[in-house]
């Protein structure tokens, strides 16, 4: 038996150290973010979790619009024949498709039975390249119709074998951008530009540092010329692909016949690209920032940056009423307050539920609200309140007065945001090891290494079986690293390219 003092007691059990996957599930449950639905592989996203997604939609959505992209919406159902048009695309997605074959239920002796078989089965979109391509083909006729930039926020279905809340579910929410250009360069530039948007969003809003780069050819999106990605490192050292962009070249425009008449009068295929991020980002935020007391939300994407907890002692009704009154007044004092370089609005929640205040406070610790404010009878005469920052492990009290809100609260929020990023960045930077041989790589992971490895690699078209056996994947060839003439750790060939090797989600 281990002696456990009250101080060591953690809100989340098991701890990260003890069992990372269970810790993760526990954080999701205790923070009241989501739960697995009774429908296989699907999740119910609860308000506190969905609030994060809404912020992602709102902030990233605006950034996407700022790139000249318009939002639209395309059908959930994709005719089978559309998918069939791009050979690699079919191969890549065939094994995880939900297929609709009937359009009616018939009441029989044995219960409801599907009837009215469709002449052509419909696929529930696993992604929308093909169906959007069909629209693009009819929308685009001349170079004057280009570039065409469309985005949709929607749900998609991939019949996953092993679901995990936020990280891998059969149905999930995402944003998929689809763009078409007259030239290959523009399509390429678009994939690079959008990757940059994702990277900045991830780092500046989610406080989640990422490595951007290009996927090995065998790991690219089915039907793409190249796939680019941002890779984040979770606290267990595993990589999480947090966003991707695909340069589709003319593969899909050939399949869907997206053609335009160019300035020279020639009929040409458009060059297309696609890019997306999903609710997986929320899983990334959890595994990047949460600790053994639960979630820690970066202020930039927290559904509420501040919760006010009235300390009502239940002894004196009048006193309790005054405290609540004061709490409301305090809440109003935050109106119009913003923080950070993006002037993000400060949202304040007043927790006036009947739950005991001490319990209440722990609930909000677990939910990861950046700042907890408590107000009690003693604060009223002096217009005071107590603020505690989720980023401080000691949950120290900061005594403030109402007129200090405008100056101090934004500072606190900026500090928390920065602290979370710095901690994650420090972890990432100190967990990238460089090696020059396969044996070193193997030894490292054999010793339960938690982190990334940067090593010389000569790009090839097939995954190395030795890596597969070690459950290690090449995450990407990063855009930035020191170029040196070395030997590929897998083939021994000369190369000046390096790749990130890691275990992954």
What the block records as the tokens of 237 is 């050292």
Nearer to RNA, 260 or 501 (CB): 501
Considering only CA atoms, which of 89, 80, 460 is closest in space to residue 249?
Answer: 89
Check residue 329 for interaction with RNA (CB under 7 A): no
Closest CB 261 distance from RNA, rounded Å? 34
Crossing angle of the two packed helices 280-289 and 405-430, in degrees rounded to 10: 90
Check residue 40 for interaction with RNA (CB under 7 A): yes
Check residue 199 for interaction with RNA (CB under 7 A): no
Cα separation, 306 vs 329, in Å, equals: 14
Check residue 245 for interaction with RNA (CB under 7 A): no
Check residue 9 for interaction with RNA (CB under 7 A): yes
Q: Strand, coil or helix: what is 103? A: strand
Check residue 228 for interaction with RNA (CB under 7 A): no
Identify the residue among 395, 439, 493, 496 touching RNA (CB under 7 A). 395
Nearer to RNA, 55 or 244 (CB): 244
Check residue 504 for interaction with RNA (CB under 7 A): yes
Identify the residue among 53, 82, 181, 221 touching RNA (CB under 7 A). 221
- By rule CB under 7 A, what count of residues binds RNA? 63
Give the 3-state secondary structure of 166-228. Answer: CCECCEEEEEEEEEEECCHHHHHHHHHHHHHHHHHHHHHCCCCCEEEEECCHHHCCCCCCEEE
Q: How many CB atoms lie within 10 A of CB 144?
A: 10
Q: How many CB atoms lie within 10 A of CB 427?
A: 17
Nearer to RNA, 183 or 415 (CB): 415
Q: What share of the chain is helix, strand, coil (3-state, %, to 5)?
A: 35, 30, 35
Q: How far is CA 291 from CA 159, 314, 390, 398, in A?
A: 31, 33, 10, 22
Identify the residue among 32, 84, 160, 408 touching RNA (CB under 7 A). 160
Cα separation, 491 vs 495, in Å, equals: 10
Check residue 295 for interaction with RNA (CB under 7 A): no
Check residue 365 for interaction with RNA (CB under 7 A): yes
Closest CB 337 distance from RNA, rounded Å? 20
Check residue 28 for interaction with RNA (CB under 7 A): no
What the block records as the tokens of 297 is 């939300």
Check residue 161 for interaction with RNA (CB under 7 A): yes
Binding mask 334-363 for RNA (x = CB under 7 A): ---------------------xxxxx-xx-
* Site for RNA, residues 87 to 116, rule: CB under 7 A: 92, 95-96
Identify the residue among 151, 175, 244, 272 touching RNA (CB under 7 A). 244
Identify the residue among 55, 135, 151, 169 touching RNA (CB under 7 A). 169
Check residue 213 for interaction with RNA (CB under 7 A): no
Check residue 377 for interaction with RNA (CB under 7 A): yes
Identify the residue among 55, 202, 235, 241 touching RNA (CB under 7 A). 241
What the block records as the tokens of 402 is 């109402």
Check residue 151 for interaction with RNA (CB under 7 A): no
Cα separation, 426 vs 288, in Å, equals: 12
Q: Tell me how many degrees the CA angle 258-259-260 measures, rounded to the nearest 5.
A: 135
Check residue 164 for interaction with RNA (CB under 7 A): yes
What the block records as the tokens of 72 is 């639209």
Identify the residue among 27, 59, 167, 182 touching RNA (CB under 7 A). 167
Residues 6+ apart with CB under 8 A from 367: 31, 32, 48, 294, 295, 297
Q: How many CB atoms lie within 10 A of CB 190?
A: 25
Q: Which residues bind RNA (CB under 7 A)?
A: 6, 9-11, 21, 29, 36, 40-41, 92, 95-96, 158, 160-164, 167-170, 172, 174, 221, 229, 241-242, 244, 276, 278-280, 293, 311-315, 355-359, 361-362, 365-366, 372, 374-379, 385-386, 388, 395, 468, 471, 504-505
């Amino acid at each position: 038996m281990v002696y456990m003092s009250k101080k060591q007691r953690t809100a989340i059990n098991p701890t990260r150290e003890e069992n990372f996957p269970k810790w993760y599930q526990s954080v999701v449950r205790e923070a009241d973010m989501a739960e697995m639905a009774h429908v296989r592989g699907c999740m119910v996203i609860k308000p506190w979790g969905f609030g994060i997604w809404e912020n992602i939609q709102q902030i990233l959505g605006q950034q996407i619009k700022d790139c000249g992209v318009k939002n639209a919406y395309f059908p959930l159902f994709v005719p089978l024949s559309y998918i069939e048009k791009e050979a690699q695309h079919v191969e890549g997605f065939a094994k995880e498709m939900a297929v609709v074959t009937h359009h009616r239920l018939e009441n029989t002796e044995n219960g409801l039975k599907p009837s009215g078989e469709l002449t052509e089965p419909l696929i529930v979109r696993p992604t929308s390249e093909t169906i959007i391509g069909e629209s693009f083909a009819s929308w685009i006729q001349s170079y004057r119709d280009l570039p065409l930039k469309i985005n949709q926020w929607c749900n998609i279905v991939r019949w996953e074998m092993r679901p995990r809340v936020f990280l891998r579910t059969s149905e999930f929410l995402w944003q998929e951008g689809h763009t078409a250009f007259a030239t290959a360069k523009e399509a390429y530039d678009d994939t690079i530009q959008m990757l940059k948007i994702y990277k900045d969003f991830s780092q500046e809003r989610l406080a989640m540092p990422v490595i951007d780069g290009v996927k090995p050819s065998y790991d690219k999106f089915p039907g793409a010329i190249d796939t680019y990605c941002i890779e984040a490192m979770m606290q267990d050292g595993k990589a999480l692909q947090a966003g991707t962009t695909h340069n589709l070249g003319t593969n899909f425009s050939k399949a869907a016949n997206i053609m335009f008449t160019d300035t020279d009068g020639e009929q040409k295929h458009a060059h297309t690209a696609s890019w997306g991020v999903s609710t997986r980002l929320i899983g990334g935020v959890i595994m990047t920032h949460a600790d053994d007391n639960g979630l820690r939300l970066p202020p930039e994407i927290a559904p509420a940056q501040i919760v006010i907890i009235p300390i009502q002692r239940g002894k004196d009704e009048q006193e309790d009423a005054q405290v609540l009154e004061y709490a409301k007044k305090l809440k109003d004092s935050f109106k119009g307050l913003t923080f950070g370089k993006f002037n993000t609005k400060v949202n304040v929640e007043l927790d006036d539920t009947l739950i005991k205040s001490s319990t209440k406070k722990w609930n909000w610790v677990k939910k990861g609200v950046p700042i907890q404010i408590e107000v009690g009878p003693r604060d009223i005469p002096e217009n005071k309140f107590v603020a505690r920052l989720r980023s401080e492990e000691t949950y120290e009290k900061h005594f403030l007065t109402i007129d200090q809100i405008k100056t101090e609260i934004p500072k606190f929020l900026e500090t928390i945001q920065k602290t979370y990023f710095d901690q994650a960045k420090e972890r990432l930077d100190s967990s990238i090891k460089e090696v020059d041989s396969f044996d070193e790589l193997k030894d490292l992971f054999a010793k339960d290494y938690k982190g990334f490895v940067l090593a010389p690699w000569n790009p090839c078209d097939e995954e190395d079986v030795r890596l597969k056996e070690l459950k290690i994947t090449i995450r990407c060839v990063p855009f930035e690293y020191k170029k040196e003439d070395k030997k590929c750790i897998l083939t021994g060939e000369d190369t000046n390219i390096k790749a990130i090797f890691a275990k992954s989600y």
